[in-house]
Amino acid sequence: MNRYIVLLRGINVSGKNKLPMQKLREMLNKMNYKNVKTYIQSGNIILDTNEEEKKTLENKIKEAIKNQFGYDVPVLVKTIQDVKKTIKENPYPISDEKVVAVVFLSDVSPSIKTIKIDKAENDEFTISNDVIYLYCPNGFGRSKLTVNVFEKKLGLTATSRNWKTTNKLLELANTK
């Protein structure tokens, strides 16, 4: 049995794409996924499955959400090892976890290590394989480093999680 961290993008944001986590868990349990857990209302799921291929799992969950709830939302699947590596390789200081975030990408960035983005003063980002690390010491509200910008520049699907949520998901995934 494999354990995965599933990240949905664009649900329960500003009253759009409302998706109660209880109903999401029920749907996933009916799909025979095991030990289904959700964390906060922004589409963070931990589950066990015999499924080996992350892309297949992404497609199954995406299709089920579309069929049951009518929402066409991006779904990204990461292994526990993926998230451990992401946390370990963070290049930015964590003295204030509210200014560090991770943009998870649907695929490895196609040999792009840097892209040109007009960014707010002091904001930084680092592209590393299938993640982008964000460091926004003035807060994310003022930052121009958004998921939409990265998706457009890289041609990939993306979703972001703040540092606290990223660590909490790993913690939850490591407990039965």
Q: Where are the domains of the chain?
A: 2-80, 86-173
pLDDT at 46: 97
Return the number of other C-beta atoms located less than 10 Å from residue 44's C-beta. 21
Q: Which secondary-structure segment (H or E) carries 125?
A: strand 124-128
pLDDT at 11: 83
pLDDT at 110: 61
Q: Give the DSSP letter string of 8-52.
A: E-SSSBTTBS---HHHHHHHHHHTT-EEEEEETTTTEEEEEES--
Q: Give the amino acid at 57.
A: L
pLDDT at 61: 97
Specify the pTM.
0.92
pLDDT at 14: 63
From the list 39, 64, 45, 54, the residue with the least C-alpha distance to 6 is 45
Tens-digit pLDDT string for the chain (176 aa): 999 999 999 886 666 778 889 999 999 999 999 999 999 988 899 999 999 999 999 999 999 999 999 999 999 999 999 999 999 999 999 888 889 999 999 988 666 666 777 766 789 999 988 999 999 998 888 888 889 999 998 889 999 999 999 999 999 999 87
Q: Which fold has domain 2-80?
A: Alpha-Beta Plaits (3.30.70)
The Cα–Cα gap between 131 and 152 comes to 15
Cβ contact 92:124 at 8 Å: yes
pLDDT at 15: 66
From the list 68, 138, 37, 63, the residue with the least C-alpha distance to 96 is 138
